[in-house]
Amino acid sequence: MKKDIIAMLLAGGMGSRLNILVRKRAKPAIPFGAIYRIIDFTLSNIANSTVDVVGVLTQYKPLSLMEHLDSGRPWDLFGRTRLAEILPPKTGEAMSDWYKGTSDAVYQNIGFVEDYSPQLVLVVSGDHIYSMDYDDVIAFHRSRRADATICLIRVPYEDVRHFGIAETDDERRITNWVEKPRTAKSNLASMGVYIFNRKPLATALAKVAKQGGTDFAKDVIPIMLQKKRVYGFVFDGYWRDVGTIHSYWQTNMDMLDVNSGLRINEWSVKTNLSAKGEVGDRPSAYIRRTSQVSNSLVARGCVIEGSVVNSILSPGVRVAQNAKVIDSIIFHDSSIGTHSTVQCCIIDKQVNVGESVEIGNGKLVANKKFPKHLSTGITLVGKLAEIGSGITIGKNCVITPDARLTVAKHKNVGSGSTV
C-alpha cells in the first residue's frame, strides 16, 4: 500500500527526570489533564491531519501504553488504509538490540517506512503537549522544496541550553544548528517535530548509524545541513515539554488558566476512554452539596465531600468530608481521608491517604536524593502507596510506589525526604 506520507512517533523514552511517575509506565503513558495521557496530543495531531499511517516506536515499560493505544481505534487510525502499528525493538538477549536513540529507532524500522514508499516521513515525539496542524508544515515543506523541515518555537534565551537551536535566513532556511548551547544568537528551539523527504532521510540514517550516531538533533540534522535543503517552520502556538516534574505540574495547571493558551476544548484531542481503569462506564462525579469545588477539573466517578481548589482529579478519586485538595494532581482511584490536607502534590493511582494527614506542608527544601528533580515545592506520592492516619509529609518529598507509611515510623516526614 503506497502512501504519500507516513508518521513515525517516538514513544520509547524513559523520562527519568519524572522520577517515580515513570517507575511503572513509559513517559508518554503518564496521565494528563484528568482523562488524557501525554501521547494523546501527538496522536490527535496526526489523526486530525491527512497523515493516516503511523508507526509507534515503543521501548521502556510499554504495556500500559500499548493497552491505551488499542491498535489506534480511539483515533480512527485502524482499518485497511488507516493504521497505527506498535514497533517495539527487536530485542534479543543483548541490550545492543534495544533502540539506542531517536534516529536509531527509526533506522531499525526503515523497512516499515519503505513498505509504504512515501515521499515524506513525519517524525514526532510522544511526550509534548501542543496542538498543531501538520498539514501546514507539509505545505511549508513542499513550498520551500526542502529535504528536511524542523518545527521551531521561540523560547527564552536563558532556556536555549535545553534545546537544539537553529539560526535561519530570511527564507527560513537553517544556516546554523547547535545542540543545547550555553548561549546562542538565536532562540528558535526544536520542537522535536520533523518532516523529511524519504530518500535523503534513509541515506542520512544509514550514514549516522555507520558512524555510531543515534540521535536526530545531534547526528542526523548536522549531516543533512552539509548538503541538503533544511528549513525551519516557526510555530507560534502553545507547546510544552513536560519532561520535568515542575513543567508537568505547571502544564496541568495551565488547563485551569483561561489565559495560558492551552485550550483543550478547541483542540479536538482524542483519548481511549474505554481502556482498563479509564472513564469507561463510571458514573457521573458526585459532588456533595456541602463540599467546595473551585477552578478544578473533576472526572467521572469522583466522589467529592470535602474541598477541591485549583486541582485536577482523574476518574474515581475520593475526597472525604473536611478533606482539602489544593494545587494538586491526583490520578485514578486514589482517596483522601477526612480532615486531611493535600497541597501542591502529584499523587499517583490507587493511593490511600488516611485521616488527618498533611502533605505538602513545611519548609522549601530541595529533595536530598533527587535535588534536580524536586526543588519547587511539589511532593510526589507513588502508585499504590498507603499513607497512614496522622502523618505529616513536607515539600519536595518522594513517597515511593507501594510504600506503607505508619504513624509509628513516619509520623513526620520532613521536606526533601524520600521514603
Average pLDDT, rounded, for the chain: 93
59 vs 219, more confident: 219
Q: Are 118 and 26 in contact (CB under 8 A)?
A: no
pLDDT-derived band at 25 (thresholds 50, 70, 90) equals confident
pLDDT over 70, % of the chain: 98
The residue-averaged pLDDT of 273-300 equals: 90
Note the pLDDT tens digit of each residue in 363-417: 999 999 999 999 999 999 999 999 999 999 999 999 999 999 999 999 999 999 9
pLDDT-derived band at 335 (thresholds 50, 70, 90) equals very high
For the domain spanning 5-266, the CATH number is 3.90.550.10
On the question of pLDDT at 94 being above 60, the answer is no
Domain 286-413 matching CATH 1.20.1300.10: the answer reads no
In b/e form, how buried is each residue of 276-307, taking b as 16+ CB within 10 angstroms?
ebbbeebeebebeeebebeebbbbbbbbbbbb
Q: Residue 91's pLDDT is what?
A: 56
> Can you tell me the distance from the alpha carbon of 267 to that of 315, in angstroms, rounded to the nearest whole number?
21
On the question of pLDDT at 311 being above 50, the answer is yes
On the question of pLDDT at 90 being above 80, the answer is no
Q: Residue 37's pLDDT is what?
A: 95
What's the chain look like in SS3? CCCCEEEEEECCCCCHHHHHHHCCCCHHHCEECCCEECHHHHHHHHHCCCCCEEEEECCCCCHHHHHHHHHHHHHCCCCCCCEEEECCCCCCCCHHHCCCCHHHHHHHCHHHHHHHCCCEEEEEECCEEECCCHHHHHHHHHHCCCCEEEEEEECCHHHHHHCEEEEECCCCEEEEEEECCCCCCCCEEEEEEEEEEHHHHHHHHHHHHHCCCCCHHHHHHHHHHHHCCEEEEECCCCEEECCCHHHHHHHHHHCCCCCCCCCHHHCCCCCCCCCCCCCCCCCCCEECCCCEEECCEECCCCEECCEEECCEECCCCEECCCCEEECCEECCCCEECCCCEEECEEECCCCEECCCCEECCCCCCCCCCCCCCCCCCCEEECCCCEECCCCEECCCCEECCCCEECHHHHCEECCCCEC
Q: Residue 96's pLDDT is what?
A: 54
Q: Residue 24's pLDDT is what?
A: 84
Note the pLDDT tens digit of each residue in 197-253: 999 999 999 999 999 988 899 999 999 999 899 999 999 999 999 999 999 999 999
Residue 330 phi, psi dihedral angles, 5° rounding: -125, 125
Place of cell 516506536: 57
Domains 5-266 and 286-413 share a fold: no
For the chain, domain boundaries: 5-266, 286-413
Q: Residue 93's pLDDT is what?
A: 45
pLDDT-derived band at 97 (thresholds 50, 70, 90) equals low
Note the pLDDT tens digit of each residue in 131-189: 999 999 999 999 999 999 999 999 999 999 989 999 999 999 999 999 999 988 999 99
Q: Residue 98's pLDDT is what?
A: 73
Q: Are 344 and 379 in contact (CB under 8 A)?
A: yes
